[in-house]
Amino acid sequence: MADGQTLKTKVVNTFDPYAVRAQFPILSRQVNGKPLVYLDNAASAQKPRAVIDALTATMEGGYANVHRGLHTLSNEATEAFEKAREIVARFLNAESPEQVVWTKGGTEAINLVANGLGLSIEPGDEIIVSEMEHHSNIVPWHLLRERRGAVIKWIPVLDDGSLDMAAYADLLGPKTRMVAVTHMSNVLGTINPVAEITRLAHAAGAQVLIDGCQGAVHATPDVQAIGCDFYVLTGHKLFAPTGIGALYGKAEALEALPPYQGGGEMIETVERDRVTYAKPPHRFEAGTPPILEAIGLGVALGWLAQYDRAAVQAHEHALYQRAVDRLDGEGWLRILGQAHGKGAILTFAVEGAHAHDVAQIMDRYGVAVRAGLHCAEPLAKRMGVTSSTRASFALYNTVEDADAFVDALIKARNFFV
């Protein structure tokens, strides 16, 4: 377990996607008699052998509840659990592990912040989000609109899928309390200028939350360089188990938040007529935490650290570009989002075909893609579509995957002509 939980300093200089792919057992299976081409990574990524083995080893030989026990198993589990927190802190370039709060995912992390902010929200206070947000970064703020009288303002998305930064600057004002934007769009692949977004918000006296559920995988999640008050990630997109995520917060931002849930672990003392709370991060971690899942996330990030981030990004973009180039000139295809520097997400609409039908036909050829609104209904309306199909590339995808995707898409389209 310890080996898998060390952020490796030896980085692989030559990136080999085939060697990476071989570490993912599920990618060797067939679907409908065809080799699996898994391109639903923006929804959830597959798990490498290192993570699978670490979870099995912990369950078989090192599991116990954390923090409260004095026996050997509890001490070992606590050490692994807290080591994973340290790994997440280094991954995000946080100043301290105490700035990392365990959550069950990105959604809970955003709700934690929204709930805490909501206790001080006054009618008319403003929250700025963008038109490209996932529902997880929209609905929690709508709850404050419904319950506290907050006003939600929207940063427009331009035709190429980038944010209208001039419009954003105009939205900021004395009533702005929070700016909550995605680091990278799960639909368009757009990577937003989050450092500049943060700088402008802070100049207006507002806090900033960055939804990094995609950006932590495909961009550069350096919270000190970004300067944000909060940054959110989820494990299952980072090759880790489901049910685990993390909230980074500046020390002063976390100190100012009230507890989100009550129970064991998040307290210092409990008496009949008073309760005192633990300091962050434990203040926000009521009850038995996701022990195995946190350890798995630590292992996943340790595994990922062996690969040069720029090389991985270049590989993913090359696959995206290969697919786009092969489809160039096809008048029946509309690609959603082509902002400069975007990540390797290819979302599209096929003329005369529903996205669900396209995805189901492509599945016949072993190609797994996503279809629907992608939990981003305001963006779909902005782009003028009722549904779309999405192929999202990861470091274990290959040129053969990109070609199989294009071949399957063309076959799917031929069903409708």
Contact at 8 Å (CB) between 186 and 213? yes
Contact at 8 Å (CB) between 105 and 245? yes
Backbone angles phi and psi of 27, in degrees to 5: -75, -5
Nearest residue to 359 (alpha-carbon basis) of 349, 369, 350, 351: 369
In whole angstroms, what is the distance from residue 265 CA to residue 278 CA? 8
In whole angstroms, what is the distance from residue 179 CA to residue 118 CA? 14
Q: How many CB atoms lie within 10 A of CB 187?
A: 28
Contact at 8 Å (CB) between 128 and 153? yes
Backbone angles phi and psi of 12, in degrees to 5: -70, 120
Residue 228 falls in the annotated catalytic set: no
Q: Considering 375, 385, 399, 410, which one is annotated as catalytic? A: 375
Tokens of 324: 């786009």
- The residues, ordered by sequence, that sit 6+ positions from 98 with a Cβ below 8 Å of its Cβ are 251, 279, 280, 281
Helices (H), 186-337: 194-203, 215-218, 223-226, 251-256, 291-304, 309-327
Q: Which residues are catalytic?
A: 375
